[in-house]
């Protein structure tokens, strides 16, 4: 990237495109109606569920899982649960999801004026930003 001409917007945008290009193709776009109907049905992130799946997969790596010979819980498994709990806590407490809303997005509004009710149909005229909350 040392050949980026910082005085040329085209060169800078080209560099960004190279950095952001995903190897092996791009993700399949998900239709908006599917997002609107399917996402609310998700259960959300569960530290216990994630930790349990990781611990269960340790056997694939040849790492012993389960109770210790003493009958106690493995400190490694306890630490795995703590680690995932802290990661999910950071997502919930510190994560930001920002969405870009493109110009041309249809809008409708209603209001009232001295002449009576007013209805408006139109579209956004500029790029705007929205926020989401990860659960």
Q: What is the DSSP letter of 1?
A: -
Mean pLDDT (whole number) for 34-40: 84
Residue 26 lies in a domain: no
Claim to verify: residue 103 and residue 122 sit in the same structural domain: yes
Collapse the DSSP code of 84 into the 3-class scheme (helix H, G, I; strand E, B; otherwise coil) and give the result.
Answer: helix
Mean pLDDT of the chain: 86
* 87 and 110 share one domain: no
Q: Are residues 113 and 124 in the same domain?
A: yes
Same domain flag for 51 and 85: yes
Domain co-membership, 89 together with 106: no
Structural domain containing residue 83: 43-95
Say what the pLDDT of residue 14 is.
79
Query: Does residue 84 sit in the same domain as residue 124?
Result: no
- Is residue 125, in this structure, part of any structural domain at all? yes
> pLDDT tens digits, residue range 74-121?
899 999 999 999 999 999 999 998 888 888 989 999 999 999 999 999
Is the pLDDT at 2 greater than 80? The verdict is no
Q: How far is CA 18 from the centre of its chain?
A: 22
Residues 102 and 75 in one domain: no
pTM, two decimals, is 0.59
Asked if 49 and 66 sit in the same domain, the reply is yes
Domain count, the chain: 2
Q: Residue 135's pLDDT band (boundaries 50, 70, 90)?
A: confident
Q: Among 109, 102, 101, 104, which Cα is nearest to 123's?
A: 104
Cα separation, 35 vs 132, in Å, equals: 13
Q: Would 3 be classed as within a structural domain? A: no
Q: Which two structure tokens, joined as six digits, stand for 37? A: 């109907």
């Amino acid at each position: 990237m040392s050949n980026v001409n910082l005085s040329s917007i085209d060169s800078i945008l080209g560099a960004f495109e190279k950095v952001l290009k995903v190897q092996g193709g791009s993700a399949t776009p998900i239709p908006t109606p599917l997002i609107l109907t399917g996402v609310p049905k998700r259960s959300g992130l569960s530290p216990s569920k994630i930790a349990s799946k990781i611990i269960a997969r340790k056997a694939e790596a040849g790492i012993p899982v389960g109770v210790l010979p003493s009958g106690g819980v493995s400190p490694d498994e306890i630490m795995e649960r703590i680690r995932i709990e802290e990661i999910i806590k950071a997502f919930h407490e510190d994560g930001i999801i920002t969405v870009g809303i493109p110009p041309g997005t249809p809008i409708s509004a209603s209001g009232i004026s001295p002449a009576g009710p007013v209805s408006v149909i139109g579209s956004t005229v500029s790029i705007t930003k929205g926020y989401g909350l990860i659960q």
